[in-house]
Amino acid sequence: MTTQREDITHNAAGFETDQDAVFDRIAARYDLLCDLFSFGIHRHWKRRVAQLIAREPWRDLLDGATGTGDVVLRVAAAQALGRDHHIIASDISPKMLAMASRRASNLRANITFRQLDAHAMPAIADASIDLYSISLGLKICERDKVLREALRVLRPGGRLVVLEASHIAPAWLHRAYLHYMGMAMPIIGWLATGGDASAYQYLLKGIHQFPDAADLADEIRAMGFTEVSFEKLTLGIVAIHVARKPA
């Protein structure tokens, strides 16, 4: 059983999903926040995730912490999806899901929007998903629980794709980046959210406390995944991890 101390260690942002509905409060401004914090570069990161997903053979895709649907919308645009392709876009925030559903209203892709907690998804059957993706969500979760749940729902041989924060090399440049974010994020976040401090505090803490890509790869491997690899983007601000559930 995971101890409380281990849970805290593996929740980089210290965010409790059942105690703060912050993402419901900022749903209408979430995309603006992402653009401001990353100077719009997050769009490139998510396009890359969509490209990796499009290369994989899958029929059932589950996107965890889908937010306003950036990744699933790009998957639908990048890949000619047939009737046998089914996407489950899941998030714990109903208002985020509502935003994602509206954005997908003109798409012909088979997308189901479901309110699910990535830590535990009893509504998703064991070994029923071909590909599980999560983008920029692990930093506000107990990532060991989320990865364990991803392993459970994936079919043998199924693929895991994770986009998440990483560390810039060299170390001095990473420290400079964190210093910049520590100054800029509170100002930008306060303006964009109308003074809702919790939103950017969680994200800032998550960036500071999240492990490097190599360490996260080790965690994914220790969880039971194989063929674990990653690529860093934008000097290492983020990395995309891919792994497979053993067949």
Residues contributing to the annotated binding site for S-adenosyl-L-methionine? 68, 91, 117-118, 135
- Sheet with strand 154-165: strands edge to edge: 111-115, 86-91, 60-64, 129-135, 154-165, 238-244, 226-233
DSSP code string of 61-98: EEEET-TTSHHHHHHHHHS---TT-EEEEEES-HHHHH
A 10 A CB-CB count for 119 gives 18
d(CA 178, CA 184): 10
* 80 and 91 Cβ atoms separated by less than 8 Å: no
Backbone angles phi, psi at 230, to 5 degrees: -150, 155
Please give the structure tokens belonging to residue 239: 């990395």
List, as residue ranges, the binding site: 68, 91, 117-118, 135
Longest distance between any two alpha carbons in the chain, whole Å: 50
